[in-house]
Structure 1
């Protein structure tokens, strides 16, 4: 088995900013999930949804730290749209 390639560690400034954004998400009641966002060969961008009244933000874990920071800033600094998908609505229908 091949060893995993490790990228260069992010700078302390990037790590600090990422931690600040993760804290902001927690204060807003948003759970962040870092996952591989692929389904049936499709790469998904990630985003926010509500599951049984709780907000969840899904982030592609293969992104660089700088890309994750940009993604989190975009989703955390703007007001939520009124039409955040409610996952439990879909689950209840099926």
Structure 2
């Protein structure tokens, strides 16, 4: 059995990449984002897939693709934080 290969390797890789991309996206968004780690991973995975799909027709540059992925993750974190914050009904002190 091959360690890190096949289906489970792909899943683990997606989770790790999602966590990294999502965490970088959270670093860009100012303020505290009240969201669980699983949501950060989901946002990161979606941003990584969308960023790769968008940049595939423009360039093969790893760094440019990474920048687009992180920006998409930041947009996702911002939107989800705004939705979750508004839904909880926190009022400013």
- Asked if Structure 1 and Structure 2 have the same fold, meaning a TM-score greater than 0.5 normalized by the shorter chain, the answer is no
Report the TM-score when normalising by structure 1: 0.33
Q: Which has the higher contact order (CA 8 A, sep 6+)?
A: 2
